[in-house]
A and B are shown apart, each in its own frame.
Chain A
Amino acid sequence: MNDYLIIFLIFLLYFSPVFYQIFKLLRERKEENKKLLKRLLRFTKYSLLLLIFTSVIFGILSHTNYLNYEKPLSFDKYDQITFQNFRGLEFFKKSLYGNKRFAYVVTTIESDFEDNSVTIESLFHPSRSFVYKKNTNSKELLTHEKYHIKITELFVRKAKENISKLNSFDEVKINEIIKKNKSAERKYQQEYDYNTFHSYVLSEQKKYEKEVDSLLDLLSEFKNPKITINDKN
């Protein structure tokens, strides 16, 4: 039987006299009982509010660690990134496939439109990225995680390459291109993790490193976050 079920049943059994009393109280709707019931309901209400408040705080900190916040870093800071920048908190996941020495990185693709230009950037979110131990000396793990950042940058450059081919500045089309590249990036990131099995398969890891580096080099002309489109008609 599942451990949680056992705990739950023990809890029910243990508090069964309490539940029974509440049950009896609810049945006997006398005046004095009503007072007690009101008090109980008020107590339950405050307990629930406290629980909701704590859960919200817990959820916010799980998502972004505002207690140790560092603003998102753009790709030009790539070389400065170490595990010291991984400031996220992880309350639940204690291992990855049984391995306690794990990390994950959170990256996003952000865009901002201006008159006839668009700025597209890959961002690394330190306070949402997690490592099991900040002072770990695992270079392989860091390399694996940092290539996730490079992959995001790769798809940002691909998006900019696609946008540069547009004849006119069309926000709808640009948004479509960004959306398409975002979804391609997610797929590629998943494939990268699957094929390297989170860097366990070193030959695959090296293969990806070569591929990503050479593609980034090929798209180096799209390094600049801002891309301006002048009407070609």
Chain B
Amino acid sequence: MIKIKHLFLIIICATLMSCNSDKYDFPLDKRYWDNNDYKEAILELRFGYEDDEKKPTFDDPEQRMIVQKLTDEQNFKVVLTDKELGIKHRNNVSTKFFEHWQDMTQIYQERDRKDNYIYDVEMLAVWHFGLGLQLDYFNLGNEDIKNRADDPNSVRVKNIINKNIGTLVSNYIIYLDEVNEEKALTEEGKSKLAEGIDKYFTQLIELYPEANYSGMKNKAELMFKKSESDKIKSSLTKLIELIDSKKKVELD
């Protein structure tokens, strides 16, 4: 009799102990997330959390992995930069990634009653993911256009490609709008914002040195006047200098 009672108790305890208490199911052990994983993860992060429930952040040891995985650029780079894969395939994959990224930007937009971002570092990490992605996305799109054109050097094709680069530059300028919101950022957030300018804007200008950056320069100058953060000001100064240096080379 006692044995049976104990047996029941053991079974119940074992069941309880083997239970996985994780409420959310993200494929964290998967080396690379594909578009389907992003679709599921974004849905979960946008609509699966209750209003006052804390979302995964970089400073949360238990949930850090989720946001790290979400913003890991290797997830798209492993496909988009793989030259063994066809351009059409990579272009299709990048288009889907771009669409997912647009949804991703909604995850960490929340603000508190003082208008401060609740998840500023995570929101900027998502931004960085998008800035990096767009470099590959636009590049593949342009390559595909060239491949499909009868004459890749024709004026028409060049105009389309230049227009696309112009759109890419405009998309980058939107990132600089965040300087207007620097009061809503923590010191860590301001550093992250500055890092984004240093890293991704440099990559953009190095990739397309001949593009028209006058709008970007103008925006950077205005933001420089407005910003009160030394780190952001320093990054904007470097950006303006880089644009000027490319202009100089062009004139020479």
Question: Which residues from chain A sit less than 8 Å from chain B, CB to CB?
Answer: 1-2, 4-5, 8, 12, 26-27, 97-98, 194, 197, 200-203, 205-206
Contact = CB atoms under 8 A, between A and B. Distances in A.
Interface in B23-71: 27, 29-32, 34, 36-37, 40
B27 A98 contact: yes
15 contacts: A2-B21, A4-B19, A5-B15, A5-B19, A12-B12, A27-B1, A97-B29, A98-B27, A98-B36, A98-B37, A201-B78, A202-B85, A203-B82, A203-B84, A203-B85
A2 B20 CA distance: 6
Nearest to A207: B84
B31 A194 contact: yes
B155 interface: no
B249 interface: no
The residue in B12, B19, B36, B40 that gathers the most chain A C-beta atoms within 10 A of its C-beta is B19
A180 to B, nearest CB: 28
B114 interface: no
A96 to B, nearest CB: 9
Given A197-B31, A200-B32, A201-B78, A206 B16 contact: no
Contact of A206 (B27, B30, B34, B84): B84
A4 to B, nearest CB: 7
A201 B82 contact: yes
Nearest to B30: A97
Contacts of A12: 12
Contacts of B113: none
B4 interface: yes
Given A27-B1, A201-B82, A202-B85, 19 more contacts: A2-B19, A2-B20, A2-B21, A4-B19, A5-B16, A26-B4, A98-B30, A98-B36, A98-B37, A98-B40, A197-B31, A197-B32, A197-B78, A200-B32, A200-B78, A201-B32, A202-B82, A203-B85, A206-B84
A35 to B, nearest CB: 18
B119 to A, nearest CB: 26
Contacts of A194: 31
A98 B40 CA distance: 11
Question: 9 closest A-B pairs (Cβ-Cβ)?
Answer: A2-B19, A202-B84, A97-B30, A203-B84, A203-B82, A5-B19, A197-B31, A206-B84, A202-B85
Contacts of A200: 32, 34, 78
Contacts of B4: 26
A213 B12 CA distance: 54
Given A200-B78, A203-B82, A206-B84, A97 B27 contact: yes
Nearest to B4: A26
A206 B83 CA distance: 11
A129 to B, nearest CB: 23
Contacts of A201: 32, 78, 82
Nearest to B16: A5
Contacts of A27: 1
Nearest to B20: A2
A98 B26 CA distance: 10
B188 to A, nearest CB: 33
Nearest to A8: B15
Nearest to A27: B1
A105 B11 CA distance: 36
Contacts of B36: 98
B79 to A, nearest CB: 8
B117 to A, nearest CB: 32
A12 B29 CA distance: 33
Contact of A203 (B15, B31, B83): B83
A30 to B, nearest CB: 15
B88 to A, nearest CB: 14
B35 to A, nearest CB: 11
Nearest to A201: B78
Contacts of B15: 4-5, 8
A46 B201 CA distance: 73
A126 B82 CA distance: 32
A67 B1 CA distance: 44
A206 B15 CA distance: 45
A27 B32 CA distance: 58
Nearest to B21: A2
